[in-house]
Amino acid sequence: MEILSSFILLGKGILSCLTLQNLLCCTIGSLIGSLIGVLPGIGISGTVAILLPVTYGFDPLTALIMLSGIYFGSAYGGAITSILINIPGEATSIVTCFDGNPLAKKGKGGKALSISAISSFLGGCIGIIGLTIFATMLSRVALQFGKVEFFAIIIFGLVLLTTVASKNMLKGLIVVCLGVLIGCIGLDEVFGSLRFTFGVVDLFKGVEFVTFIMGVYGITELLFAIAGEEESGEIMNYSKADLYPTKSDFKAIWKTVVRCSCLGFGMGLIPGCGGTLATFFAYGLERSLSKHPEEFGEGSIVGVAAPEATNNAAVYGSMVPLLSLGIPFSSSMAIMMSAFIVHGITPGPLFITEHPDLFWGLIGSMLIGNIILLIINLPFVGIWASMLKVNFSILMPIITMVTFAGGYAINGSVFDLGVMVVCGFFGFFLNVCGYNMAALAVSLFLCGTLEDAFVGTMTLYKGNLLSAFINRPIGGVIFLAAIIFFLYSAGKNFYNFAKTKNTK
Amino acid sequence: MKRIISVMLVLCLSLMLFAQGGSEAAAADSSGAWTPKGGNVNIIVPFGAGGSSDLTVRAIVNNGAKYFPDTTLVVENVPGGGCAIGLTKFVTSKPDGFTIGNTSTPMVVLPTSTTTQPYVYYEMVEPICRSAVSTFVVYVRSDSGIYNLEDLKNEILSREMILACNSKGGNSHWEMEYFAMKNGGDVTAVVYDGGASAIAAVLGGHADITVQAPNDGREYVRSGDLRAIAVLNTERLTDSVYADVPTSVEQGYPWLTNVGFQGFSLPKGTPQNIIDFYRECFRNALADPVIMEETEKLGMIPAYLDADEFSAFIDESVANYKEIFSALEGRLD
């Protein structure tokens, strides 16, 4: 009964959004969002932060609608760069590169884009349904995660990374450790001590994740182009028919989309890193369930649909603690929260009961934003895909320029550009040696939370990890699962290695 | 070979970018009036965008442009390390009048409470003014059975209490360590990455106590999830949510007060005429009723002090904190 009344309220919320002004703002928001989101380096939180002042003059609901348009628009824009030029804008769209970029290189960039738009849309819809039903019910879930649980989850995530992101587990393990080491650069968050900074003030803040990504993806790609590893100069050919998915494509992805959306929403409830880990988890899951696991990494449409459905659904999962408790667990959620505060709304435990009109209006606007995004982006697929028809020698310099501009825009710091270039060379050599960049980047991303959780666990349990896991059984079980998974993968890897050696 | 050469060329070209950076040797002329001549003036805020400290600075920047002639104020957020990163960046920047620092309590607390800070920030600034003060509130879960500091004291003495704090040695950490020590007990401090996460930890039962700014805990007191047991000041808060919350002084702990401050400074060595320019600007801006109202909305109390008074206030705070932290003897590290 309660669920039914939720949907009635959602209906009212959608209706309140359907004024000409709100629809216009939503459309403009999604359009600008996806255009800015395409620029590498700016990402979701950057885009929202840049465009936040634009909404100052509007009434709260209109402003929120525009912001959610911007938010989802930029999330979609991030997928465009992942697919077309192999530069992910956010941690959550790294996995989209795995299959999206190979598809684009095969001349099927258009199809990859429309698959990503459609799975994002469906993932978003399932996420919204989840938010409608569970917002109040699951509000306390995020609070159950303490330092011990976080530590266990991140360890599990890192183990997952060693196997999902690279074929050779040993190499995966090496890059994951390397990523954690790079993440240690700078002032540590807990004790304030300096590490690996050599007295350089600009290094105190550490290597920023987005700068790092732009380096190891953007600059590395450029270096590959120079080194001639790619078939440069070749003009991609594609036919109109290849732009949009066919019936059989839909048949191939619908189960994936539903599965991954549910997974994404569920894992999105884990504060902080849930969404990013969920994309890897979904990709690994789909690969093991697929009848053609060999296609993954070579340009499988399922490999694009899985992470895109997951990361969109995960956004709604992570909105649960923000809207029901007023606690933002990620930087993009923190910016959304400050946007709320600017408009005089303080999200807190009483937000849903005191401002039901705004809450349901916001959820309604998300649904409308998703629909508008799909409508305005599908026709653009052809335009974006035709970007690949541009001669490589013209496209590459433009990408370089945009990469540098984006790298500078993050903090307005020239030093960051240097970091980016160094990361680029670093990534280039690692890539040549067959190491996987995704595992490197994500382990860097997780490093801060890992350390925070580890130090917290150690403080709470006086340095006794065993007693921590006995006292917090959920964390203990996850940690145990991580160890078993690690040993299993290592054993399998070793077995395969021995087999190939014998056959030789 | 050709490929290697071209890779090297790209490297050289990108390195050239750095050669260009920062060498405008503007000879500082300390005689006569000074203005930035329309140039961008960065205000370094050592907190992330959207926090209450950031918003108080933005309230001045957004509403006070008319008080800063020939100046374009730009807010630069440099968060991390419990303000250490932003403060380091500020005190090591050039004293040419184009960088202003948003210098608040951590400037004094960080270098006096811990030994790991790269600089003694408060010695490296030219104060412009204090803009506002704020106070802190002690929160516990409402099902905890703790109603006042007396209950808290007994609880601390009878079992291990966990304190959720925002940074080691900073505000939100030392108060409860000091309270426990003075009463002959101890608390276990666990660091969270900000007020919201620390509150979430208390709500979720991972920690027992947290000390936060009134605005951060307000919604949870209203909803009945948290209980505010003490305001760490000599006066109660005017906000209706906190009107019934007694101060620590009322509860018989006059040594347990903590008044945070917000202010602005220039890097040490800035010529006097530049300092005078900003003193004038900020004096006018901070008297603006709109800015005062916005500041109050953010849970701060406007409390302007001019450069000399602010300087004396900083010295007083340093002496005060030093006394407390030397009594704590490394408990904060």
ipTM: 0.86
Q: How many whole angstroms from its chain centre is CA A27? A: 23
Q: Is the pLDDT of residue B187 over 90?
A: yes
Please report the pLDDT score of residue B70 as a whole number. 87
Co-location of B269 and B235 in the same domain: no
CATH number at residue B218: 3.40.190.10
Domain boundary among B178, B208, B242: B242
In this structure, is residue B195 part of a structural domain?
Answer: yes
**Same structural domain for residues B208 and B296?**
no
- Number of CB atoms found within 10 A of residue A241's CB: 9
Angstrom distances, CA of residue A147 to CA of A126, A473, B83, B193: 30, 13, 23, 12
- Rounded average pLDDT over A300-311: 92
Regarding whether B105 and B68 lie in a shared domain, the answer is yes
pLDDT (0 to 100) of residue A227: 84
- Distance between CA atoms of A427 and A419, rounded to whole angstroms? 12
Q: Which domain holds residue A27?
A: 2-232+240-503
Do the domain assignments include residue B66? yes
CATH number where B101 lies: 3.40.190.150
* B213 lies in the same domain as B75: no
Q: What is the pLDDT of residue B26?
A: 44
Give B45 or A240, the one with higher predicted confidence: B45
In a domain, B88, yes or no: yes
End-to-end CA distance of chain A: 66
Name the residue with higher pLDDT: A77 or B137: B137
Confidence of residue B21 (pLDDT cuts 50, 70, 90): very low
Alpha-carbon radius of gyration of chain B = 22
The secondary structure element, H or E, covering residue B209 is strand B209-212
Query: A300-314, A443-457, B16-30, B263-277 — which is least confidently predicted?
Result: B16-30
Work out the average pLDDT over A145-173: 88
* Helix runs in A18-59, H state only: 20-38, 43-51
Percentage, residues of chain B above pLDDT 90: 50
Convert the pLDDT of each residue in A166-224 to its tens digit: 778 889 999 999 999 999 998 877 777 788 888 887 888 888 888 899 899 989 988 98
- Give the mean pLDDT of A469-490: 92
Model confidence band, residue B50 (pLDDT cutoffs 50, 70, 90): low
* DSSP state, residue A234: P
| Total domains, chain B | 2
Which stretch, A254-268, A284-298, A360-374, has highest mean pLDDT?
A254-268
Chain B residue with the nearest C-alpha to that of A449? B193
Task: Give yes or no: residues B186 and B234 share one domain.
Answer: yes
What percentage of chain A reaches a pLDDT higher than 70? 96
What is the residue-wise DSSP string for B264-302?
A: EEEETT--HHHHHHHHHHHHHHHT-HHHHHHHHHTT-EE
- Residue B16 in any domain: the answer is no
Contact B191 A147 (CB under 8 A): no
User: Quick check: B49 and A49 CB within 8 A?
Assistant: yes
> Would B11 be classed as within a structural domain?
no
| Secondary structure (3-state) at A238 | coil
Mean pLDDT calculated for residue range B158-186: 89
Three-state DSSP class for residue B101: strand
Domain count of the fold of chain A: 1
Under the banding of pLDDT at 50, 70 and 90, the label for residue B16 is very low
Last residue of a domain, one of B242, B267, B289: B242
Q: Which range is least confidently modeled, A84-88, A237-241, A264-268? A: A237-241
Nearest chain A alpha carbon to B59: A342
Strands B226-231 and A194-195: unpaired
**Minimum mean pLDDT among A1-5, A433-437, B218-222: which range?**
A1-5
Flag whether pLDDT at A232 surpasses 80: no
| Mean local confidence (pLDDT), A279-302 | 89
| Test mutation, B115, B191, B293, B294, chain A, max A CBs within 10 A | B191
Work out the pLDDT band at B7, boundaries 50, 70, 90. Answer: low
Over chain A, what is the mean pLDDT? 85
User: In a 3-state reduction of DSSP, which class is residue B127?
Assistant: strand
- Span A8-30, mean pLDDT? 86
Q: Do A192 and B189 touch (CB under 8 A)?
A: no
Q: Is the pTM of this model over 0.90?
A: no
| Best to test chain A binding among B56, B87, B159, B220 (most A CBs inside 10 Å) | B220
Confidence label for A274 from pLDDT (cuts 50, 70 and 90): confident
Q: Which run of H or of E encompasses A284? A: helix A274-289
What is the pLDDT confidence band of residue A504, given thresholds at 50, 70 and 90? low
Residues 445-484 of A with CB under 8 A from B: 452, 455-456, 459-460
**Which tens digit of pLDDT belongs to each residue from B235-274?**
898 888 999 999 999 999 999 998 889 999 999 999 999 9
Of A341, A350, A421, Cβ closest to residue B14: A421
User: In 3-state terms, what secondary structure has residue B137?
Assistant: strand
Q: Looking at residue B5, what is its pLDDT?
A: 55
Q: Tell me which amino acid residue B247 is.
A: T
Distance from CA of A352 to the nearest CA of B (A): 12
Q: How many angstroms separate the CA of residue A287 from the nearest CA in chain B?
A: 35
B184, B209, B242: which is the final residue of a domain? B242
Question: A350 — contact with chain B (CB < 8 Å)?
Answer: yes
Average pLDDT over residues A91-116: 88
Structural domain boundaries enclosing B90: 38-134+259-328
| Residue B24 scores a pLDDT above 60 | no
pLDDT bucket at A239, cuts 50 / 70 / 90: low
pLDDT tops 70 at residue B3: no
A250 interfaces chain B, CB cutoff of 8 Å: no
Give chain B's mean pLDDT: 86
* pLDDT higher than 70, residue A231: no
Asked if residue B17 is part of any domain, the answer here is no
- Comparing CB atoms, the residue among B89, B191, B219 nearest residue A456 is B191
B157 and B111 in a common domain:
no
Residues 163-202 of B with CB under 8 A from A: 167-169, 188-193, 196-197, 199-201
Q: Which residues contact A234 (CB under 8 A, 6 or more apart)?
A: A392
Phi, psi of B215 (to 5 degrees): -65, -35
Q: Which of A222, A326, A335 lies nearest to residue B50, judging by beta carbons?
A: A335
Comparing CB atoms, the residue among A189, A193, A346 nearest residue B193 is: A189
Angle among Cα B152, B156, B160 to the nearest 5 degrees reads 135
Do B144 and B236 belong to one domain? yes
Span of A98-112, A217-231, A431-445 with lowest mean pLDDT: A217-231
Contacts of A317 (CB under 8 A, 6+ apart): A127, A130, A131, A264, A265, A266, A267, A268, A269, A274, A275
pLDDT of residue B20: 41
Does A503 score more than 90 pLDDT? no
Average pLDDT over residues A464-471: 90
pLDDT digits (tens, 9 = 90+) for A367-411: 888 888 888 888 888 888 887 778 778 888 888 888 888 888 776
Of B135, B189, B180, the C-alpha closest to B158 is B180
- B86 and B152, same domain (yes or no): no
- State whether B110 and B157 are in the same domain: no
- What is the structure's pLDDT at B22? 38
% pLDDT > 70, chain B: 89
Please, which pLDDT band fits residue B6 given cuts at 50, 70 and 90?
low
Distance from CA of A501 to the nearest CA of B (A): 34
